[in-house]
Amino acid sequence: MTVLMDGKKLAQKYRLSLKKDAELIKQHGVVPTLAVLMIGEDPASQVYFKSKQKLAAEIGIATIDTVMPVDSSQQAVIRQIKQYNEAANIHGILVELPLPPQLDEKAVMEAIAPEKDVDGFHPYNIGRLFMDDAGPVPCTPAGIMALLAEYQLDPAGKRVVIIGRSTIVGRPLAAMLLNADATITITHSKTNELERITRNADILVVAAGQPEMITQKYIKPGAIVIDVGINRLGSGKIVGDVAQEDVKQRAGYLTPVPGGVGPMTSVMLMKQTLKLAKRSVEFERR
């Protein structure tokens, strides 16, 4: 039978642990603080914005929340980020995506100080990750690695196929798995014979943004299937990129949607905030 990898349960386990970590940091006179910047009032971004506020408060992380007008200029946004960079009491900086069209996402993300880049998207931190010298790392791939570890699924020596080459999931996850001694193939919309490639995967990660595109014909019997997709159908139902009921007939392990990778992303963000705050405590001790 397919084992469903319960990200919700693991996220709760992390929340309890992170609360203790936050208290230990506060005992050194440091309040872990995350600055969250949102440009405009995109409904989906607002939902994530509020959920992060709630989770941070539960764990014991302070947030400094700024909502700028949707027509904010590039200069104004970068000026705000630089203020966060210079604030000693701020340990992590998060810019909610997507950004309005007049803003250059790459320039905005590069304006964040690498040592406060809680999302792990700064080119400096991505470069360190590929050199196996990781600082802050992207949170969704970190959540996937945590799920694999929880279920004692060691990637070493495994053949991994990743569908999707985004800088948020596919590329950084490939680096993490490579650092963990897996053999990696990245596929994408231009890949030929996708089905043939995925059927050789011991671990298949699907981050394609296509509702239920992966059925059991793409799956090697007993494979570990990680579904990163979150898609809302016209009926309102939320599904992943994997046809879950079909794939359950063949996969050994599967992350459900919802309740798989999604809950892990937010707790990894909070874990990384605490890690950056802890570094400030260690710096003060020197």
Contact 63, 34 (CB under 8 A): yes
Q: Which of 70, 60, 105 is nearest to 271 (CA)?
A: 60
Asked if residue 45 belongs to a known ligand binding site, the reply is no
Asked if residue 259 belongs to a known ligand binding site, the reply is no
Burial 150-184 (b: 16+ CB within 10 A, else e): beebebeebbbbbbbbbebbbbbbbbbbbbbebeb
Asked if residue 285 belongs to a known ligand binding site, the reply is no
Copy the structure tokens of residue 109: 């993300």
Distance in angstroms (rounded) separating the CA atoms of residues 140 and 77? 25
Asked if residue 199 belongs to a known ligand binding site, the reply is no
Residues 6+ apart with CB under 8 A from 105: 97, 98, 99
Contact 23, 58 (CB under 8 A): no
Evaluate the omega torsion of the peptide bond into residue 101 and state whether it is cis, within 30 degrees of 0. no
Residues annotated as binding site?
164-166, 230
Residues comprising the binding site for NADP(+)? 164-166, 230
